[in-house]
Amino acid sequence: MSLGVCGKSLLRPVLRASLSRNLLHVSPVSRSSSGSKGLVLGVYEGEKGNDSVQFTKAGEVFDNSTSGRLKELLTISGPLLKKGRSRIFYGLHQDFPHVVVVGLGDKGVGISNLEQYDEGKENIRAAVAVGCRQLQDLEVPLVEVDPCGDAQCAAEGAVLGLFEYNELKNKKKTVVTVKPYGSLETEAWQKGVLYAEGQNLARHLMEAPANYITPTSFAESIQQALYSTGDKVKVHIRPKSWIEDQQMGAFLSVAKGSDEEPVFLEIHYNGSTVASESPIAFVGKGVTFDSGGISIKPASGMEAMRADMGGAATICSAIITAVSLQLPINIIGLAPLCENMVNGRANKPGDVVKAKNGKTIQVDNTDAEGRLILADALCYAHSFNPKAIVNAATLTGAMDVALGSAATGVFTNSDWLWGLLRQASVVTGDRVWRMPLFQHYTRQVTESQLADLNNIGKYRSGGACTAAAFLREFVTAPHWAHLDIAGVMSNKDEVPYLRKGMAGRPTRTLVEFTAYLSQESQNS
């Protein structure tokens, strides 16, 4: 099956570049390019009654180089900058014709128990993104960024804030090269670049049209991204015949409604120093377009269902980032990939299909297809004897209703897993929130007229919870977490350092979680 023009000439270079440590040109940039450089500097709000400008360390260095001129201009140009606001100054310094000063909020803020994230880190990401975008709008191609006391967060803000999917447009925004200003924190900066590029890779995959990202092109693109990463990584693209041999009847029942062949993507990363160490298994829903099947979705908004493979995109991007960071951990990545379409072979409401573990499922709603393909993938994940299984899926509209875009809903049978996921999300700012796995919901899917299970609950309420209860019927592992990412699939203006479009969340949280897990394994 052909990848198409975008698959070969546009998507793959982006994927290859996402693994390059020099993607954003973090190497030194010549200062001789007059008029083409910009600088983003942070400034704190300060305490009430204190109107003096409070620079970061980098800001103080720059202000001294201007003999205090920047502080003077900030003082006379109006009230002190509030969090996320900016001012731009021209001709202040011969090396930087454009200087954007951004508000970082209060100095010294940290983890907020109410917000469930580190406010200081989020303030840096948001402020840096504002400054970089302003310079991009001015077509400034070279930008140095104040590390603002946390070079990783500053890099994440810059790289995430500048991303925009415009691969198919003739007119594109200025490509901006960014690097840290006056900083020796290159390791922390580079880590931030890798984290952000991982999320941007997921955004790129989710944003691309469904006629460009098919099941086959998705799998081949991930394979290409990992092609030159050495013998620690193996990628298997399993064809339909293999899926049939594995008796994945639930997965095949969804895929048969499309002319696109289903693919089962399997990634092995052996990064642990102990080869026999049990892996972490990541499983991602990979419906590259979801029409709803015979239970067809409304036409309005259906185009966004090109991103219904967000679970597969985020787990694959997280694994690619873990490989780039050379995390000492073994990982198995599994992504059942298909389309949910309407043809003469498509699932009909009331059909009964059989999953890999032998359980029969009554399909009363063909638009509840994600749980069907995940059921077989979760069964297969157990064959690797994983220490934990984490699956991600844009599974239910009910999750969006429950939490909106504020956080990813997590359903888990493991307090240990929940603790690590929550800890990771506090650091990344891409939050998670624990949801219930009560037997109350299980009974709604196990009381089925024709089969062992029904793919929808008996009642409309609690849809995200009954979907999780359904998945639990295919899990025997003591440490399993289901991440319903439907609410965080896209961004309008909720996350200030992400432009409007597909969000690629919670890729960075999955990477941070994996890093914690690798540290725990090393210390045990």
- Three-state DSSP at 126 gives helix
Which pLDDT does position 123 carry in this prediction? 97
pLDDT single digits (tens) 278-332: 999 999 999 999 999 999 999 999 999 999 999 999 999 999 999 999 999 999 9
Rounded to the nearest 10°, the torsion over CA 25, 28, 31, 33 is -30
Cβ-proximal residues to 109 (8 Å cutoff; 6+ apart), any chain: 119, 120, 123
Judged against a pLDDT cut of 80, whether residue 375 lies above it is answered with yes
Quick one: DSSP state of residue 524? -
DSSP 260-317: SPPEEEEEEEE-SSSTTSPPEEEEE-EEEEE--TTSPPPSTTGGGGGGTTHHHHHHHH
Q: How far is CA 277 from CA 270, 282, 457, 519, in A?
A: 9, 16, 38, 13
Which helix (DSSP H) or strand (DSSP E) does residue 518 occupy? helix 507-523
Which pLDDT does position 15 carry in this prediction? 41
Among the listed residues 8, 107, 297, 422, the single catalytic one is 297
- Rounded CA-CA distance 421/524 in Å is 19
Among the listed residues 179, 238, 371, 505, the single catalytic one is 371
Structural domains of the chain sorted by starting position, each given as residue range(s) with its CATH number in brackets: 31-184 (3.40.220.10), 198-523 (3.40.630.10)
What band does 21 get if pLDDT is binned at 50, 70 and 90? very low
pLDDT single digits (tens) 242-289: 999 999 999 999 999 999 999 999 999 999 988 789 999 999 999 999
Q: Helices 186-207 and 151-162 meet at what angle, rounded to 10?
A: 30
Q: Rounded mean pLDDT of 449-472?
A: 97
Q: Are 320 and 232 in contact (CB under 8 A)?
A: no
**Annotation says 371 is catalytic:** yes
pLDDT single digits (tens) 127-165: 999 999 999 999 999 999 999 999 999 999 999 999 999
- Rounded CA-CA distance 148/127 in Å is 10
Q: Are 355 and 376 in contact (CB under 8 A)?
A: yes
Judged against a pLDDT cut of 50, whether residue 399 lies above it is answered with yes
Beta bridge partners of 501: 491
**Annotation says 297 is catalytic:** yes
Which pLDDT does position 483 carry in this prediction? 98
| Residue among 159, 145, 160 nearest 102 (CA) | 145
